[in-house]
């Protein structure tokens, strides 16, 4: 997998791909359908398969103060795309200039003169150009005019509504990590550096790894059964996590705290990948530390049972 930033001054070998074009803020099942359709077209055109996406995400460009919304890291996105056969990811710099391009200017300057594409595939609901004026039909017309192939993937639904990043974010904000996993095609996970906290967990027998979520979308405040992986390790460690503002001890600072079962080691400064396997309960305030400690023990037992099917020491 090669990641290329920009679309100008590319080498000859970097041009001529069939691309899946979109935002790809999380490679969900709908995105996978677009990439699979692009793979079919690439085979027909005898061209390599690529993905072109916008960086930063247009949503972040137009609303820099918008709440966090990322579904996965760029590295995890690229892993998912590699698994779908993608050879190159083109990160198109979404600038003020690009935001003002007409649909035809975008096609000519970026796709034709820049990437030199052999073909492009989007979803049927794709819009592009200034004010999202260009439609899939417009893209097909411009393809005929400029000599590249086009194809469009039908929208994927789950029997209720369209599979989309918006729908996945809604599921996570509702605490429905099972629905999110179904739509995403894998258990939702975040990656973050383990930071120093107040170390209160150690004093009550539940040491935690404290992780900032950065620009990831926020799940519902509450307690989750999780699996966590350390860098370079294939085996995941089961655990229990709380995401929220800790109303019993703080009430102000938003934090993800992860307690790993049967683990004794120094995690500070390491990047931990945490998968949200199941939602246990909403966050709530307790009368004091003793009540909180008792609830954490109960939560840990619930998480262990959910993850392993057997109870054991927490």
What CATH number was assigned to the domain covering residues 188-308?
2.40.30.30
Contacts of 134 (CB under 8 A, 6+ apart): 102, 103, 106, 127, 128
Homologous superfamily assigned to 2-153: HUPs (3.40.50.620)
**Domain boundaries in the chain?**
2-153, 188-308
Q: Give, for 239, the enclosing helix (H) or strand (E).
A: strand 237-244
If one compares 170 and 231, the residue with the highest pLDDT of the two is 170
Q: Maximum CA pair distance of the chain?
A: 72
Q: Comparing 2-153 with 188-308, is the CATH topology the same?
A: no
Contacts of 11 (CB under 8 A, 6+ apart): none
pLDDT digits (tens, 9 = 90+) for 72-104: 999 999 999 999 999 999 999 999 999 999 999
56-86 core/surface letters (b: 16 or more CB in 10 A; e: else)? ebeebbeeeeeeebbbbbeebbbebbeebeb
Give the pLDDT confidence score for residue 311 in this predicted structure: 46
- Report residue 314's pLDDT band, with 50, 70 and 90 as the boundaries: very low
The whole-chain average pLDDT of the chain stands at 90
Residue 250 has pLDDT above 80, yes or no: no
pLDDT digits (tens, 9 = 90+) for 26-79: 899 999 999 999 999 999 999 999 999 999 999 999 999 989 999 999 999 999
């Amino acid at each position: 997998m090669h990641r290329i930033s920009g679309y100008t001054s590319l080498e000859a070998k970097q041009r001529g791909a069939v691309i899946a074009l979109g935002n790809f803020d999380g490679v969900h099942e709908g995105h996978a359908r677009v990439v699979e359709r692009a793979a079919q077209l690439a085979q027909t055109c005898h061209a390599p398969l690529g993905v072109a996406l916008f960086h930063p995400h247009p949503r972040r460009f137009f609303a820099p103060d918008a709440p966090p919304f990322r579904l996965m890291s760029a590295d995890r996105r690229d892993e998912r795309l590699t698994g779908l056969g993608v050879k190159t990811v083109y990160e198109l710099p979404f600038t003020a200039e690009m935001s003002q391009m007409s649909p035809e200017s975008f096609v000519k300057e970026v796709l034709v003169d820049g990437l030199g594409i052999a073909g492009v595939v989007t979803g049927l609901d794709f819009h592009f150009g200034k004010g999202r004026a260009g439609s899939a039909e417009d893209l097909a017309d411009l393809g005929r005019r400029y000599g590249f192939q086009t194809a469009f993937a039908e929208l994927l639904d789950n029997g209720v509504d369209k599979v989309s990043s918006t729908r996945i974010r809604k599921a996570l904000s509702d605490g429905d990590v099972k629905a999110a996993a179904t739509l995403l095609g894998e258990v939702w996970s975040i990656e973050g550096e383990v930071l120093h906290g107040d170390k209160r967990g150690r004093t009550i027998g539940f040491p935690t790894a404290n992780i900032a979520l950065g620009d990831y979308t926020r799940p519902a405040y509450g307690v989750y059964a999780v699996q966590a992986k350390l860098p370079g390790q294939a085996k995941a460690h089961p655990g229990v996590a709380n995401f929220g503002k800790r109303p019993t001890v703080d009430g102000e600072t938003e934090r993800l705290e992860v307690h790993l079962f049967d683990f004794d080691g120094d995690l500070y400064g390491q990047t931990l990948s945490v998968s949200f396997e199941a939602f246990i309960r909403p966050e709530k305030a307790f009368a004091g530390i003793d009540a909180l400690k008792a609830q954490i023990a109960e939560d840990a037992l619930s998480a262990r049972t959910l993850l392993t099917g057997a109870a054991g020491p927490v």
